[in-house]
């Protein structure tokens, strides 16, 4: 199949010369060792869901269920990256991006009996080899939500056995790809997998039960803990970590009740994941918020979960303003007159800085951090072959400034990955919401650099010339 590579030939076009993106001269972002990259996920870009022995995933099932995904969209084709990966790597390299965070599709690399699927594994071997040829640092996430459907049929993340099957999967991939991966991430956003997948049903597999959410979370974190020593044994030179999404909660008033509500928001959004990883315990405030939902925890589980990390990936998008619900929790109170993205999320870069500096104070053993996702969706329109995504440019500049402020405050942050390299399947929102710095015409699969991509490329070229 022909690939359109025209977008990578000249990544900096004349209309990008008036540059509202470049950081100040004293910014930490000019450091040569601060990694700047972009991220994607397998189900969101690969397509080819029936090819070369790939098995069905929970997102294949969920997106094919009427009413679950906007406009009935599915990931069956997505960005057709499975066939266009060489051109996509050239696109990434042409922008000068130094790192690429991708995920492996678990259903693509092994069958239900655990037998390796050579065609699927070879796809990732070729992809990683090409990235290495281009000098791009590779961050590989093992689980970005696409659980094999056959495991969900046996209980999914409600079944403790799934954690052990994940360790088997991690073992296979780290043996096969050892030396090709700079950093392994076990899970992407276990909060979303547990809460959106099993707590409120917004994501696959679409279950909605509070006790399900906390038990699924425990098994997700257990899977992470079981995988870490396997990754260390099989690929000792790589970094090992996990990726958590975090949310800033602010109170609607100075009242004690509203302040408590904001605290509880951050407990369920942040501490629910980070406390087990970094303290070896669940926050008890969580079960004040959700009484009667304590998961079944076996002896030794928390020690397994809290195995030391080489890095912590942080995904941040927005803050939520809350008030007391008059009982044991909180309710969202949207603020008026604030900037929002196409998702309806408030643009609040200070929240990222505040959370990062707060984590430094809260967790004595906080590992080095990579911002593994940050970006925004906008209704980007292609006009005369160009996409002028001015809100995204402003968003990225302000959030990178917030990262710089956190570094100045003493937080060890080693890099930043834009979400996303290109427009893609945005889960329950289908293809309507565009997060990419590269525009994708889904009818033709043509990639077009947005102005944000041009300015990122310009900055990286200037930084390279300085060092």
Percentage of residues of the chain with pLDDT beyond 90: 94
Residue 466 confidence class, pLDDT cut points 50, 70, 90: confident
Residue 275 lies in a domain: yes
* Three-state SS letters, 79-132: CCHHHHHHHHHHHHHHCCCCEEEEECCHHHHECCCCCECHHHHHHHHHHHHHHH
**Would you say residue 14 has pLDDT above 60?**
no
251: which strand partners?
Answer: 322
Confirm or deny that 85 is annotated as ligand binding: no
- Decide if 63 contacts 209 (C-beta within 8 A): no
Please give the Cα distance from 416 to 418 (Å, whole number): 7
Q: Considering Cα of 39, then 314, then 410, then 261, what sign does the dihedral take?
A: positive
Q: What count of residues does the chain have?
A: 467
Please tell me the predicted confidence (pLDDT) of residue 32: 87
Residue 175 lies in a domain: yes
Averaged pLDDT for residues 242-256? 98
Please tell me the predicted confidence (pLDDT) of residue 16: 39
Please tell me the predicted confidence (pLDDT) of residue 239: 98
Confirm or deny that 188 is annotated as ligand binding: yes
Show Cβ contacts of residue 383 under 8 Å, excluding neighbours closer than 6 positions: none
Query: Catalytic residues, which ones?
Result: 189, 373
Percentage of residues of the chain with pLDDT beyond 70: 96
Please give the Cα distance from 425 to 376 (Å, whole number): 14
Place of tokens 């696109």: 91
Residue 187 lies in a domain: yes
- Decide if 371 contacts 356 (C-beta within 8 A): no
pLDDT tens for 112-166 read: 999 999 999 999 999 999 999 999 999 999 999 999 999 999 999 999 999 999 9
- Decide if 123 contacts 88 (C-beta within 8 A): no
Tokens, residue 279:
């303290």
Provide the domain limits for residue 217.
6-466
Residue 1 lies in a domain: no
Residue 18 confidence class, pLDDT cut points 50, 70, 90: low
Confirm or deny that 419 is annotated as ligand binding: yes
* Separation in Å, CA 127 to CA 78, 217, 221, 276, 417: 18, 31, 28, 34, 19
Residue 374 confidence class, pLDDT cut points 50, 70, 90: very high
Exposure b/e, 228-244, CB count within 10 A at least 16 = b: bebbbebbeebbbbbbb
Residue 393: CATH number of its domain: 3.20.20.80
280, exposed or middle or buried, with CB in 10 Å at 0-12, 13-18, 19+? middle
Number of domains in the chain: 1
Confirm or deny that 317 is annotated as ligand binding: yes
Please give the Cα distance from 163 to 234 (Å, whole number): 18
Tokens, residue 174:
């780290």
Residue 448 confidence class, pLDDT cut points 50, 70, 90: very high
Please tell me the predicted confidence (pLDDT) of residue 13: 38
Please tell me the predicted confidence (pLDDT) of residue 3: 37
Q: Which residue, 96, 104, 91, is CA-closest to 36? A: 96
Please give the Cα distance from 244 to 419 (Å, whole number): 14
Please tell me the predicted confidence (pLDDT) of residue 12: 36
Confirm or deny that 144 is annotated as ligand binding: yes
């Amino acid at each position: 199949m022909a690939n359109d590579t025209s977008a990578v030939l000249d990544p900096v076009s004349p209309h990008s010369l008036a540059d509202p993106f470049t950081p100040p001269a004293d910014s930490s972002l000019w450091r040569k060792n601060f990694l700047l990259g972009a991220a994607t996920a397998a189900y969101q870009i690969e397509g080819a869901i029936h090819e070369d022995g790939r098995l069905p995933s929970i997102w294949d099932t969920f997106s094919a269920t009427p009413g679950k995904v906007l406009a009935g969209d599915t990931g069956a084709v997505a960005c057709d990256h499975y066939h266009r990966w060489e051109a996509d790597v050239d696109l990434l390299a042409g922008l000068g991006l130094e790192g690429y965070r991708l995920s492996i599709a678990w259903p693509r690399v092994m069958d239900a009996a655990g037998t390796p699927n050579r065609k699927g594994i070879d796809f990732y071997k070729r992809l990683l080899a090409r990235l290495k040829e281009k000098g791009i640092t590779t961050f590989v996430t093992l689980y970005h939500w696409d659980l094999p459907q056959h495991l969900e049929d046996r209980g999914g993340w409600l079944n403790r056995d799934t954690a052990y099957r994940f360790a088997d999967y991690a073992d296979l991939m780290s043996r096969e790809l050892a030396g090709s991966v700079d950093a392994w991430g076990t899970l992407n956003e276990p909060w979303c997998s547990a809460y959106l997948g099993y707590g409120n049903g917004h994501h696959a597999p679409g279950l909605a039960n509070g006790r399900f959410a906390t038990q699924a979370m425990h098994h997700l974190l257990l899977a992470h803990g079981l995988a870490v020593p396997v990754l260390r044994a099989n690929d000792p030179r790589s970094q090992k970590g996990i990726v958590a999404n975090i949310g800033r909660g602010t109170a609607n008033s100075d009242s004690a009740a509203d302040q408590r509500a904001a605290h509880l928001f951050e407990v369920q959004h942040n501490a629910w994941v980070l406390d087990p990883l970094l303290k070896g315990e669940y926050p008890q405030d969580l079960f004040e918020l959700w009484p009667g939902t304590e998961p079944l925890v076996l002896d030794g589980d928390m020690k397994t979960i809290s195995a030391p990390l080489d890095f912590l990936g942080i995904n941040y998008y927005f803050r939520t303003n809350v008030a007391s619900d008059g009982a044991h929790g909180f309710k969202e109170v949207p603020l008026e007159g604030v900037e929002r993205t196409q998702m309806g999320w408030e643009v609040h870069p200070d929240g990222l800085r505040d959370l990062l500096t707060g984590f430094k104070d809260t967790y004595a053993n906080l590992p080095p951090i990579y911002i593994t996702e940050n970006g925004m969706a906008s209704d980007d329109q292609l006009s005369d072959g160009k996409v002028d995504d001015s809100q995204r440019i402003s968003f990225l500049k302000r959030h990178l400034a917030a990262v710089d402020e956190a570094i100045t405050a003493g937080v060890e942050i080693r890099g930043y990955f834009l979400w996303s390299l290109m427009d893609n399947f945005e889960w329950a929102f289908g293809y309507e919401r565009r997060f990419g710095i590269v525009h994708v015409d889904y009818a033709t699969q043509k990639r077009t650099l947005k102005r944000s991509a041009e300015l990122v490329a310009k900055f990286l070229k200037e930084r390279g010339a300085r060092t």
